[in-house]
Amino acid sequence: MKRLILATRNAGKITELHAILADAGLDLDLVGADAYPHIPDVRETGVTFAENALLKAHALARATGLPAVADDSGLCVDVLGGAPGIFSARWSGAHGDDTANLNLLLAQLGDIADEHRGAYFACAAALALPDGTERVVEGRLNGTLRHAPSGGYGFGYDPILQPEGETRTCAELTPAEKNAISHRGKAFRALVPVVRELVG
């Protein structure tokens, strides 16, 4: 069985991509970065989601000699010109402090009326082969930002983004409901034909 490595230590992401590949009839041995603990994490120095995804995928493909998938994602707010964007995880200064990031963003948007609170989650997913071949696909989940967080599922900015056509936030959707419409789910599903073509 051909092995494909996903540049993450998040078991949920691995499960999500595995299910999408399996649904498409692709029988691959999908493993996460934890399978290669000697490989250091890659610094995300790109200025777009696609650049960061490619940096991670190429680094992993070179280090392991295997085809590698990586993704990068974040929240893009219309009135902030697409910010926080690639800085979503460290918007408040501390990387990965979801509560601080969320509170800072809500404070910045405090005076913004509902009709101007458009935003979307964006995800770029990249596949890189050891020979340098690369492909990138993207997924997006459009919505509007609530004035206060709501819901206990998800993470990051999920409690304040209400997807188009929904009355609930991403954090009020079950994991299965969110995966069906999420930016990452869309990007991973768009990656299926690429994986089929380049990995088999």
The residues assigned a catalytic role are 72
Q: Fill in the amino acid letter for 26.
A: L
DSSP H or E stretch at residue 77: strand 68-77
- How far from the centroid of its chain's Cα atoms is residue 100's Cα? 20
For residue 127, the SS3 value is strand
Q: Nearest CA to 109 among 146, 70, 141, 140?
A: 146
3-6 and 29-32 beta bridge pairing: parallel
- Phi-psi label, residue 160: left if phi above 0, alpha if psi -120 to 50, beta otherwise: alpha
Calpha distance 67→144 (Å, rounded):
36
Calpha distance 185→123 (Å, rounded):
9
Q: Nearest CA to 16 among 85, 74, 71, 97?
A: 71
